[in-house]
């Protein structure tokens, strides 16, 4: 039996199929992954993401620590609540984790880390933090609910404390605000609009039930995975890990090279790879034949053999899609080995879907 989030009983009551995910008992689905996926694309769905780690970094050198720790540069964050997506790298440039960081002040930041890498991340951060005047405080008493979809914000705002409603209604993408023990962020992992709400664990079930009453349907890990894949978003442990760099994972845009004197961990090997040009990169695939793309399938491209890192059937497109790491150069088409047969696939640039619409012809 894994750890249970504060919403465990709500999932059981709703008939969720529970699975182990990063040591947590999490809902895979509540009956139909495809219906949950479509609910998010067409209306509003909610996910229990309380298994993810919330960590507050505070102190006079909080910014200095994060400028050393992360490949992206938190010095770019000036407005309170502004969020930044970044990779945290090891000394060889491999990805320890990908995370969100929220700027609260120059001495106060909040980061959200992946559940499966929680212990590794906390140990890594603690090691780098030695010598910096900071406190690193995990917040296990907080639950987190993500509400996503074109109607997500309209259905959520009336359920927030009065002090948050006006601010949440006008909140810009990749910003957060905090009031009355609620932390509301407008980020996401589905390619749709919505909120992530962090709140004390004892208030999670009442909010979940209120959202149910407002017509927001629960969705599990299965729908979350197909939604994020359609949106072209990486999954840690599948599309990236400590053996690959951001430049090999379609995440070069998250590396802040300037100012040149900022010596973030992994910078030197990453600069060498940038100068030489990476030998492989992450691409999107759309299967032209009948079949389903899955992780670990062999890919035969112009530059040689690669591998599917994430793959699934896309409910929005009605086709099989994938992310794959392939050697350069990359042509317009490749072949994927599925059950002993090589099937043709188009090579595309993710995302596949954004805000419910196909991006394949963009």
**CA dist., res. 242 & res. 95, Å (int):** 5
**CA dist., res. 327 & res. 14, Å (int):** 45
Mean pLDDT over the full length of the chain: 97
Tell me the per-residue pLDDT of 22-43, one tens digit each, with 9 for 90 and over. Answer: 899 999 999 999 999 999 999 9
Confidence of residue 1 (pLDDT cuts 50, 70, 90): confident
Domain end, chosen from 269, 303, 322, is at: 269
Verify that 112 and 201 share a domain, yes or no.
yes
Phi, then psi, of 204 in degrees rounded to 5: -70, -45
Q: Residue 151: name the closest of 207, 193, 212 by CA.
A: 193
Verify that 81 and 149 share a domain, yes or no.
yes
Place of tokens 């599925």: 338
Verify that 191 and 333 share a domain, yes or no.
no
Tell me the per-residue pLDDT of 138-173, one tens digit each, with 9 for 90 and over. Answer: 999 999 999 999 999 999 999 999 999 999 999 999
Residue pair 145/208 in contact by the 8 Å Cβ criterion: yes
**CA dist., res. 318 & res. 231, Å (int):** 15
Mean pLDDT of 284-294: 96
Verify that 203 and 328 share a domain, yes or no.
no
Which H helix or E strand runs over 144?
strand 142-148
Verify that 226 and 84 share a domain, yes or no.
yes
Verify that 296 and 231 share a domain, yes or no.
no
Residue pair 204/7 in contact by the 8 Å Cβ criterion: yes
pLDDT at 362 over 80: no
Mean pLDDT of 11-17: 97
Q: Report the greatest alpha carbon distance in the chain.
A: 59
Residue 118 Cα distances to 83, 97, 176, 203, angstroms: 20, 9, 22, 23
Secondary structure of residue 169 in the 3-state scheme: helix
Verify that 290 and 252 share a domain, yes or no.
no
Verify that 184 and 51 share a domain, yes or no.
yes
Q: Residue 53: name the closest of 3, 116, 107 by CA.
A: 116
Verify that 284 and 265 share a domain, yes or no.
no
Q: How many domains does the chain have?
A: 2
Verify that 313 and 215 share a domain, yes or no.
no
pTM of the model: 0.97
Tell me the per-residue pLDDT of 220-233, one tens digit each, with 9 for 90 and over. Answer: 999 999 999 999 99
Sign of CA dihedral 178, 181, 187, 192: negative
* C-beta neighbour count of 146 within 10 angstroms: 24
Q: Residue 37: name the closest of 318, 273, 284, 266 by CA.
A: 318
Mean pLDDT of 199-208: 98
pLDDT over 70 percentage in the chain: 100
274 domain-assigned = no
User: Which pLDDT score, from 0 to 100, does residue 177 have?
Assistant: 97
CATH number at residue 75: 3.30.1360.120
101 domain-assigned = yes
Can you read off the two tokens belonging to residue 106? 């120059």
84 domain-assigned = yes
* C-beta neighbour count of 196 within 10 angstroms: 23
Verify that 17 and 63 share a domain, yes or no.
yes
User: Which pLDDT score, from 0 to 100, does residue 308 have?
Assistant: 98
Q: Residue 246: name the closest of 82, 85, 101 by CA.
A: 85
User: Which pLDDT score, from 0 to 100, does residue 180 have?
Assistant: 86
Confidence of residue 306 (pLDDT cuts 50, 70, 90): very high
Verify that 228 and 306 share a domain, yes or no.
no
Confidence of residue 301 (pLDDT cuts 50, 70, 90): very high
CATH number at residue 314: 2.40.30.110
**Cα angle 198, 199, 200; round to 5:** 140
Tell me the per-residue pLDDT of 115-140, one tens digit each, with 9 for 90 and over. Answer: 999 999 999 999 999 989 999 999 99
Cβ-count burial 265-303 (b if 16+ within 10 Å, e if not)? bbbeebeebeeeebebbbbbbbbeeebebebebebebeb
* C-beta neighbour count of 325 within 10 angstroms: 19
User: Which pLDDT score, from 0 to 100, does residue 204 have?
Assistant: 98
The whole domain housing 331 covers 279-358
User: Which pLDDT score, from 0 to 100, does residue 51 have?
Assistant: 97
Residue pair 96/69 in contact by the 8 Å Cβ criterion: no
Tell me the per-residue pLDDT of 44-97, one tens digit each, with 9 for 90 and over. Answer: 999 999 999 999 999 999 999 999 999 999 999 999 999 999 999 999 999 999
């Amino acid at each position: 039996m894994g750890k249970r989030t504060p919403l465990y009983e709500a999932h059981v009551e709703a008939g969720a199929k529970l699975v182990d995910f990063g040591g947590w008992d999490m809902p895979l689905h509540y009956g139909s992954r495809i219906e949950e996926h479509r609910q998010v694309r067409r209306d509003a769905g909610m996910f229990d993401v309380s298994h993810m780690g919330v960590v507050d970094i505070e102190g006079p050198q909080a910014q200095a620590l994060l400028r050393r720790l992360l490949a992206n540069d938190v010095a770019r964050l000036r407005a309170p609540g502004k969020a930044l997506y970044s990779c945290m790298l090891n000394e060889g440039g491999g990805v320890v984790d990908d995370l969100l960081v929220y700027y609260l002040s120059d001495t106060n930041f909040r980061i959200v880390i992946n559940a499966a890498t929680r212990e590794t991340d906390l140990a890594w951060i603690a090691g780098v933090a030695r010598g910096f005047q900071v406190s690193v405080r995990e917040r296990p008493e907080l639950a987190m609910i993500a509400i996503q979809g074109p109607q997500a914000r309209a259905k959520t705002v009336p359920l927030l404390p009065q002090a948050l409603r006006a601010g949440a209604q006008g909140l810009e993408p990749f910003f957060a605000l905090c009031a009355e023990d609620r932390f509301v962020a407008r980020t996401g992992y589905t390619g749709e609009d919505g909120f992530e709400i962090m709140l004390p664990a004892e208030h999670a079930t009442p909010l979940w039930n209120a959202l149910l009453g407002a017509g927001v349907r629960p969705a599990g890990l299965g729908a979350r995975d197909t939604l994020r894949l359609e949106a072209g978003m990486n999954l840690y442990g599948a599309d990236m890990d400590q053996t690959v760099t951001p430049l090999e994972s379609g995440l070069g845009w998250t590396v802040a090279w300037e100012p040149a004197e900022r010596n973030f961990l992994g910078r030197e090997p990453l600069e060498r790879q940038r100068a030489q040009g990476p030998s492989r990169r992450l691409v999107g695939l759309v299967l032209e034949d009948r079949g389903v793309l899955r992780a670990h399938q062999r890919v035969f491209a112009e530059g040689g053999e690669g591998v599917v890192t994430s793959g699934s059937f896309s409910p929005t497109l009605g086709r099989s899609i994938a992310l794959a790491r392939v050697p350069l150069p990359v042509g317009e088409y490749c072949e994927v080995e599925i059950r002993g047969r090589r099937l043709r696939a188009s090579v595309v640039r993710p995302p596949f879907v954004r805000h419910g619409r196909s991006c394949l012809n963009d």
